[in-house]
Structure 1
Amino acid sequence: MSIFLEVLGQAESKLKQMAQQMENIRWMAENGRYDAALENALRLEYNSERLTLLTRALPGYTGNPLAKAHVEKAIREAVPVEVGYTEQGWFSLRLPLLLPKKEKGSTEFIRGFLYPAMGKFFQGKDPVRYPDCVMIFRHVYSRDRPERERRDHDNIEVNIVADIAALYTLPDDKPDVCNHYYCSAAAEQERTEVYVVPKADFRKWLDVEKAMPDEGVKLLPELPVSG
């Protein structure tokens, strides 16, 4: 059996497993067992990421030399990452999702859409380097999400995003070069925002954050010229 059919079979098996999980979750919710529904919903989310990885790999096993380019295009369209600079000159990216809990979600899933997005943004551009900065993770939750469902900052998988952002914005990610700061906010749509801000501007960012619009600040395609 070819590797293509083997991976297709794995995807089919995962899809059947997820269908059963959804039935179970529906029954739990209809019977008021929301704690159990939440636990099983997280398992479903994990399996959906595994299924995504399988289906991403599938086109490549056809042997078509254009498969990788087509997959990367589909990822950019399905997971629209916003990359740019704020009007203050701070680098920023916006992911249209919340990052998974540590050891619960697939970092390969994140790597699969963030690398192409960053590569496309910096194509033909020199990376920007902030030698002494703060990398900020702003976790934006839906206003409808109960407070108890918000995650502890130290239980969120941020390392893969930090590593990829550092490739394009930092000389390196040693502690003496870049500190990390985590905060949460509420908006209409859930997402994760990342900012790379010079340490001298950090207090200014805190003031700006208080008045950020619901949809997030405007991002510019080029670093604004100061002065």
Structure 2
Amino acid sequence: MNSDMLLNRIRMAQQGLIGVHKKLYTLEHLLPSPDPVQFAETAKSAALLSERSTASLRGFLFTTTGGMPNGYYQQAAAVQGIKVSATDDYVFVRVPALLPKKKATEGFKFLVVPLQASFEEYRRQRALPHFSDCVICIEHIYDRCLPITAVRDYDNLEFKSILDVIALYCMKDDTGALCDLYHTTRFSYASCTMISVMPKKSFPAWLSTQMRFTDDPPQFAEKS
């Protein structure tokens, strides 16, 4: 790739980041008493622009280096706060807070590929349980500084891509005939999404534990 093409790609990346900056600037100036709908839509627009920029910059790195540097996606997972862990009866996954669904799905590559890398890294070191009849529990955790209007409807959040990755590594199938899906929402110290996969017999104990610790800071810990 010649210098003119590289310069063009760099400037395209700059434009994407400038777009994110403009949206954040708009959010700042909507304070201190923003219209909830306008604020939410502007924040959503900033997030989607950021996703596009992340995917674009990864593509730029790939084309300029002739391939993705070794260990890049594991590093990306660490930066994003993605983590996979397991016990004999549970698989736990922590990912950033899920975003609203959208027609263009390419932006979610920023999350899916590092999640796959996290599963691969964990599987190289320890065995993962495999479920044929299970419950998938999704905890949508919101920063307690956010207003109640920040909470999204469950069916308006993008989860399919994440579930596809989890099913690939530890489930026979994600069909409703074999697994149940449970969603819950709580406020805590930072936004994230916690996913726990377990045999159906383990769900009552998991639910009881979660109900007792709803005010704990979000952290990734193996349950026994």
What's the TM-score, normalizing by structure 1? 0.84
Q: Give 1:89's aligned residue.
A: 89
Displacement, 1:93? 1.0
Q: Give 1:132's aligned residue.
A: 133
In structure 2, C-alpha distance between the alignment counterparts of 1:172 and 1:141, rounded to whole Å: 29
1:219 matched to 2:208: no
Structure 1 counterpart of 2:205, one-letter code: K
Query: What RMSD, in angstroms, separates the aligned Cα atoms of the two structures?
Result: 2.4
Contact 2:141 2:185 in 1 (8 A): yes
Contact 1:139 1:184 in 2 (8 A): yes
Give 1:54's match in structure 2, choosing from 31, 41, 56.
56
In structure 2, C-alpha distance between the alignment counterparts of 1:90 and 1:165, rounded to whole Å: 12
Q: Which consecutive residues of structure 1, in runs of 5 or more, have no partner in the other structure? A: none
Mean alpha-carbon deviation: is it higher for 124-133 or for 139-148? 124-133
In structure 1, C-alpha distance between the alignment counterparts of 2:124 and 2:6, rounded to whole Å: 32
Displacement, 1:124? 5.0
Q: What are the within-5 Å matches in structure 2 for residues 1-227 of structure 1? A: 2=2, 4-29=6-31, 32-64=34-66, 67-85=68-86, 89-95=89-95, 97-103=96-102, 106-212=107-213, 213-216=216-219, 218-219=221-222
Displacement, 1:120? 0.9
In structure 1, C-alpha distance between the alignment counterparts of 2:130 and 2:7, rounded to whole Å: 45
In structure 2, C-alpha distance between the alignment counterparts of 1:159 and 1:146, rounded to whole Å: 26
Contact 1:28 1:34 in 2 (8 A): no
Q: Deviations over 1:199-220 (max 9, x none)?
A: 1222222111112343346227
Alpha carbons of structure 1 residues 156 and 215: separation in structure 2 relative to 1, 3 Å: same
Structure 1 counterpart of 2:161, one-letter code: I
In structure 2, C-alpha distance between the alignment counterparts of 1:40 and 1:184, rounded to whole Å: 23
In structure 2, C-alpha distance between the alignment counterparts of 1:169 and 1:70, rounded to whole Å: 23
What's the TM-score, normalizing by structure 2? 0.85
Structure 2 counterpart of 1:83, one-letter code: V
In structure 1, C-alpha distance between the alignment counterparts of 2:25 and 2:94, rounded to whole Å: 33
Mean alpha-carbon deviation: is it higher for 119-128 or for 195-204? 119-128
Structure 2 counterpart of 1:57, one-letter code: G
SS in 2 for 1:176: coil
In structure 2, C-alpha distance between the alignment counterparts of 1:32 and 1:155, rounded to whole Å: 23
Q: Which consecutive residues of structure 2, in runs of 5 or more, have no partner in the other structure? A: none
Alpha carbons of structure 1 residues 27 and 187: separation in structure 2 relative to 1, 3 Å: closer
Displacement, 1:22? 2.8
In structure 2, C-alpha distance between the alignment counterparts of 1:90 and 1:73, rounded to whole Å: 22
Aligned residue pair count: 218
In structure 1, C-alpha distance between the alignment counterparts of 2:52 and 2:193, rounded to whole Å: 21
Alpha carbons of structure 1 residues 124 and 82: separation in structure 2 relative to 1, 3 Å: closer
In structure 2, C-alpha distance between the alignment counterparts of 1:124 and 1:217, rounded to whole Å: 18
Contact 2:51 2:108 in 1 (8 A): no
In structure 1, C-alpha distance between the alignment counterparts of 2:17 and 2:199, rounded to whole Å: 45
Structure 1 counterpart of 2:218, one-letter code: E
